[in-house]
Amino acid sequence: MEINLKIDVNFLYKKILQESFDEIGIDYSILSPTMVKINGQLDSVKLKSLSNKLLSYGITIISDPKEMIVQKIKNLIAELVKPNQENIAVNTSFYLCENLGYSYGYLASLFSELTMTTIENYVILQKIEMVKHLMQNHELTLTEIAYQLNYSSVAHLSSQFRKTTGLSPSEFQRILFRKKNGFSKTGDTVQAEC
């Protein structure tokens, strides 16, 4: 028997955060899946309890200032690759500098140092993940996806998709179709899609 699961990662993060903060009795506001504002003071006992609780879910509280900047870069890029009209003509380097208040050279160097990849490569990876998401969950053509994600052409999107995944977008769509319609060649498995 095979059970396919679709997981809303943002909902899952929010639920884990809500339950963890509420259980420990911390007043908070969730700003994003990776950023929480603590309303008021947080003593070391509650911080330790929160850290242990979140760690049980594989979530680590970032305390290193450099890691915080890298996480903020990742959050801004995640916002930037979401399809919407406002992001169509946004320059990534300008956007990061404007929102973080550092030079792009510093941000690029720090990001590469801590992640072992470039900001440009990370943007490409995030865009390809968004392409996969849009192909799985929306009835959009590749042309519409290319436009929404600010690709210069479908050929450019297809080229990046193949370089990143090893598959063309049409090959990926065929795999999705087979999975949706139960044409899997595996035996009894449980698969989760994120």
Tens of pLDDT, residue by residue over 32-53, are 878 899 998 989 999 999 999 9
Mean pLDDT to the nearest integer, 79-92: 77
Domain residue ranges in the chain: 9-61
pLDDT at 127 over 90: yes
pTM, to two decimals: 0.75
Over the Cα atoms of the chain, what is R_g?
20
Is 86 in a helix, a strand, or coil? helix
187: which residues sit within 8 A by CB, 6+ positions away?
Answer: none
